[in-house]
Amino acid sequence: MSKQKTPTFYKGKHPVSRAQNRRRQKQLEELARIRGAERKLHFEDGGTVHEWRGGLHTVTANKKKVLNKRACRGKTKTDI
């Protein structure tokens, strides 16, 4: 017996049947409808885009990484 070769366009992934694709698509469409209804209710109740997207987020720099990067590149005008 010889093994069937997987076509190169799958790139290591197993092919998915059409039925599985249809089920996934239906599920995604249902989720999109639910999410749209939630969004509509949010804005009808006076919510803002800022609140809908999760509010304010702060970014904390990795201090060790920043210092190593600065040391590797040498002194710059901003370090003076």
Whether residue 8 is contained in a domain is answered as no
Establish if 55 belongs to a structural domain: yes
What confidence score (pLDDT) does residue 79 get? Answer: 63
* Domain extent at residue 64: 15-79
**Which helix or strand (DSSP H or E) is residue 22 part of?**
helix 18-44
2 within some domain = no
7 domain-assigned: no
pLDDT per residue over 18-77, tens digit each? 899 999 999 999 999 999 999 999 999 999 998 998 888 788 889 999 889 888 887 777
Q: Count how many domains the chain has.
A: 1
Q: Does residue 57 fall inside a structural domain?
A: yes
As given in the structure block, the two tokens for residue 77 are 């005008």
Residue 22 lies in a domain: yes
| Residue 5 is assigned to a structural domain of this protein | no
Residue 3 pLDDT class (50, 70, 90 cuts): low
Q: Which of 32, 34, 52 is nearest to 42 (CA)?
A: 52
Q: What is the pTM of this model?
A: 0.50
Closest alpha carbon to 40 in 32, 56, 17: 32
- List Cβ neighbours of 50 (8 Å cut-off, separation of 6 or more): 56
